[in-house]
Amino acid sequence: MFPGQLAVQGIAVSPDGRWLVAGSQHGTSIWDLETHKLTKILAGAANLAVFSRDGRWLATNPGAQFPGETLKVWDTKTWTLVADFHFGQRGTPVFSIAFVPNDSPLTTLGPLSRSFEFTLGGEKRTVWSSPSPVSVSPDQKILAARSGMSGDVDLWDLASGQKLRTLAAHKLSIFALSFSGDGRWLLTGGQETPAILSRNGGQMPVTETGIKIWDTATWTEHSSKVFNRTGSGAASLSLDSQILIVERDWDLVELFDITSRKSLATFTAVDPLSHGRQFSTSNMLITPGGSLLMQAAHNGVRIWRIPEQLSLPLAASKE
């Protein structure tokens, strides 16, 4: 575990596998994964961190507890702040970030989802900010975004700015949305039923959560998983586009083979300070190379070692 940072919200690993970013209300830590040493603490809180595809830039938000929207962009060569956007819209924090092409005519999806430009050394870049999930395809051609306040997903052509189609993904809402690294799959996660109190006397509401994988060649549903859990869900894809990572509960993570749809492994947390789900849905990842599974937690970043051969469901011990 990477300790010393309470209530880690969102984590991200740079495309080259060098840097781990852990954001919380207490600061944004930059860890060197080669030396396992803390390299830098960026000023300001964050519950979401997103690298550009080339790893040159890091975008962070101030966390859900802050009023108004703020988006910061950092230079990963020097870890200096290069852009700081203050939007002045109270009550609409940034919950999703995506780097998009500079010349796209699509610059807004309503008053709260919009793109912003920053320039450094004559190089212009564009970053998208939204209070609901968004994702850009690896070829930078398609923006996927939640459709209004529904559980549908709109697909937008970034070159023309036109809507391509709408996927009837989930019944009530969307909490996870991401393209796979090879562009073959689109992951959606959403709420399927209204929240109800559990029958065993639990105080947290239970919802039916759905996770779907879509084939982007045909935009048809490749696989679907439904389960009950307390609180909002979380799901992500491995960088090699082979594994689906699902947080089935606060302390239970399951891996699935995307192609075969089979369960590969389950990982259970044993640290006693783990209780209390973090706000961000971007709180899980598999490091480049596929050797480690990481999850943001109350008392740091959990780390599990992934077995070299994933074939049968198994439990792994935390490092």
Q: Is the pLDDT of residue 312 over 50?
A: no
CATH number of 10-316: 2.130.10.10
pLDDT at 317: 35
Domains of the chain by residue range: 10-316
Strand pairing partners for 244?
237, 256
Task: Please give the span between the terminal C-alpha atoms of the chain, in angstroms, as a whole number.
Answer: 7
Q: pLDDT (tens digit, 9 = 90+) per residue, 22-34?
A: 888 778 899 998 8
Q: Which of 67-76, 221-230, 269-278, 288-297 tops mean pLDDT? A: 221-230
The whole-number average pLDDT for the span 135-148 is 94
Query: What does the DSSP 8-state code read for residue 318?
Result: B
Report in angstroms the alpha-carbon separations of 267 from 217, 263, 317: 32, 12, 7
> What pTM value is reported for the model?
0.87
